[in-house]
Amino acid sequence: MPDRDPLNFFSPYERLPAGHENQLTRALLLLLRMSPMAHVEWLRLAAAKRFLWALPPAEFDTQRRAVRTDGNDDGTEQAELISVFLAPEQPQSGGGDVVESDRRQVLDAIIDYGELVTVVENKVFEADDLQARQINLDGAGVQLVGDREVVVVVWRDLLEALTGIARPENRPEFDRHFTATARKTATPRPGLMLARLWPLAEAERLDSRGKFTPAVKEALQTALRTVGEPEL
């Protein structure tokens, strides 16, 4: 029997009320997985020095004890760790640095980008951020580097950022493309991430001939034409 996937829409989740923090955590992870635009806003608050376009695709999980299930302690494939405290208000304790712990944790959310792992402690009421500051890294293959302070994200700031993605004044444009069409099915595109890479040797060759900037512009024009958007 396959393992239950808590982020599978077609699989019943825990028998908890809709307002329970576990249900809220799951909803957030599903949104981040489905919408690059929402994911960009999340990173802006949770990992301000990181950009979605520069990170490998993320893997999402919830209600797990281990930071990583396939980690290692041999010094290879190490990843940076960011611990996020997500709550309605600032932590009652005033925050602090993340430290390694041997506690028996259950992490509310894990977002693993390979080179970066973000763990989230979610609360729906005012609370202390102790759980976000004490992380069991046993066998995880992650390390605490740079600024170790817990990142505090307040729910109202996150909701304001997510609400800004689509506003009521966007309704006529939405109806024109979806509601008022004869198509049987239509899927809004919540976000789109494109990448065009030039090998260093090719980029240097184009740049030496003064052709690198035009090449970048043409790649952008091609992408815009492909998705049906106005060219630059």
Model confidence at 76: pLDDT above 60 = no
E strand residue ranges, 49-147 = 59-64, 79-87, 99-100, 107-112, 116-122, 134-135, 142-143
Give the DSSP H/E element, type plus range, for residue 156.
helix 155-163
For the segment 81-107, what is each residue's pLDDT rounded down to a tens digit? 899 999 888 887 766 788 888 888 889
Per cent of the chain over pLDDT 70 is: 87
Give the DSSP H/E element, type plus range, for residue 205.
helix 200-208
User: What pLDDT is stored for residue 58 in this prediction?
Assistant: 92
Instruction: Give me the mean pLDDT over the 9-17 stretch.
Output: 67
Domain segments of the chain as ranges: 21-163, 194-232
User: What pLDDT is stored for residue 226 in this prediction?
Assistant: 79
Could you tell me which residue, 171 or 9, shows the higher pLDDT?
A: 171
User: What pLDDT is stored for residue 1 in this prediction?
Assistant: 37
Instruction: Give me the mean pLDDT over the 130-137 stretch.
Output: 86
Nearest Cα residue to 81 out of 106, 110, 59: 110
User: What pLDDT is stored for residue 2 in this prediction?
Assistant: 45
For the segment 168-216, what is each residue's pLDDT rounded down to a tens digit? 888 888 888 778 887 777 666 656 667 888 999 999 999 999 999 999 9
Which tokens sit at 100? 């390694």
Instruction: Give me the mean pLDDT over the 26-46 stretch.
Output: 90
Picking from 2-11, 49-58, 124-133, which range would have the lowest pLDDT averaged per residue?
2-11
SS3 87: strand
Q: What is the DSSP letter of 128?
A: -
User: What pLDDT is stored for residue 99 in this prediction?
Assistant: 83
User: What pLDDT is stored for residue 187 in this prediction?
Assistant: 65
Instruction: Give me the mean pLDDT over the 21-40 stretch.
Output: 89
Picking from 126-130, 145-149, 172-176, which range would have the lowest pLDDT averaged per residue?
145-149
| Whole-number Cα distances in Å, 41 to 73, 162, 164, 165, 215 | 32, 7, 10, 9, 29
Average pLDDT, the chain: 83
Picking from 13-27, 66-80, 107-121, which range would have the lowest pLDDT averaged per residue?
66-80
* Contacts (Cβ under 8 Å, ≥6 apart) of 226: none
User: What pLDDT is stored for residue 15 in this prediction?
Assistant: 72
Which tokens sit at 55? 């990170």
